[in-house]
Amino acid sequence: MIDIKSLENEDFQKAYRTSLKNRGGEVQLVDRILELNKSRKQALHEFESRKAEQNKVGQEIAKMKRSGADASDLLNEMQALAQKTKDFESQAAEVQEKLNYLLSSIPNLCHSSVPVGKSEEDNVLVRSQGVKMEFSFQPKEHIELGEKSGLLDFERAGKVAGARFSYLRGALAQMERALGQFMLESHIEKNGYEELIPPYIVNSASLFGTGNFPKFRDDVFHLEGTDYHLIPTAEVPLTNFFAGETLKEEDLPQKFVALTPCFRSEAGSYGKDTKGLIRQHQFHKAEMMIFSHPDQSYDLHDQLTHHAEMILQDLELPYRVMALCTGDISFGAAKCYDIEVWLPGQNAYREISSCSNFEDFQARRANIRFKESAPKSKPRFVHTLNGSGLAVGRTLIAVMENYQQEDGSILVPKALQKYMGGKTKI
């Protein structure tokens, strides 16, 4: 969430207007917010003035009553003042609510290093890693590989749940489970993350804290008649772990990882990737989360991205890292790298992880601060970072397509074999 005090600063406001324009946002919203803030201040001033006047009249009434004088005229005046005070208080609260809504609906300020662009076509290649597999045959997509082997069943899932669900069977189910376990152990043992098993159902306040609400409410599955919602990503419960708390400077950074199911309505996908495992309503993902001192967050952002890359390197899957441009970066991120894995069956790179630095955007919404060790220092907002490490289903797709054999079998990457009872092929 953008701080209204920062937005009143001319230099910040100029930078924010440029960032919002580059994101393709409505720059006039800044003017609307500043107008509402001015109205809020005026209403508060009127309320405080009437309140002070009301207190003064109250003292006069008390003095007259002690002396036995008739205070009926002042009592009438007090009643009128009380109503005016109440009216201005209500006006200030109404304007504040409108202001909060607009502030919660505008995106983060992009970091100065984010490339300017309109769409994913303008994202910038940072690096590529690995060698693409060479096949003596035409490689197949994961859908054909899975359905032909009988290990991937969309038809029965459609009968049970509907479109964009699947059954994984036998060795393919085992491989998905192995991937999740491999990711967790890598992040815990190699990269120093603490594992959490969080709630898979959260309240609206938690979704507001991460920036999902109010703007992206339609992307979330809701439990009717309650204030409960299925998590679209473990980012939500992980980010809100410290909601409303003040940490100690010496306890930063805090690093967590969680392997959870994720549930997304895909309300805004408009028919994109409707087939296969790419864009499902339900999938598993290993999520990395870091709470950082502001001075360390960009170094940690690079580390976080590297930790996600390590999974692909260990699986020997070719990939590339892209710096997202202003027109493609997510609502809450100040800077983001997408990691895209090579899928030979599709002859394309596809996103498998987004690693973002939100700076204090989420921490301000969720009220997560830290207290510096210096004497008399005021609490500051932490920086939050997260990234997929990785999306399990998409990693499964990558293994299927990159390790496929001409007979339709799939080799098991060396890094996974110990998690699959020594299997070398499925």
Q: Quick check: is 409 catalytic? A: no
Q: 420 near 412, Cβ under 8 Å? A: yes
β-pairing verdict for 254-263 and 194-195? parallel
Pick from 145, 182, 196, 129: which is nearest to 341 by CA? 129
Q: 252 near 300, Cβ under 8 Å? A: no
Catalytic member of 279, 320, 372, 380: 279
Catalytic member of 264, 350, 365, 369: 264
Catalytic member of 46, 144, 351, 372: 351
Q: Which helix (H) or strand (E) holds 364?
A: helix 361-366
Q: Quick check: is 156 catalytic? A: no
- Cβ count near 279 (within 10 Å): 17
Q: Give the integer Cα–Cα distance in Å for 360 and 108.
A: 9
Partners of 229 in beta bridges? 202, 222
Catalytic member of 186, 354, 356, 388: 354
Nearest 5°: CA angle at 223, between 155 and 395?
Answer: 45
DSSP-derived 3-state class of residue 153: strand
Q: Quick check: is 394 catalytic? A: yes
Q: Give the integer Cα–Cα distance in Å for 342 and 356.
A: 21
Catalytic member of 23, 40, 369, 394: 394
Q: Active-site residue numbers?
A: 264, 279, 351, 354, 394
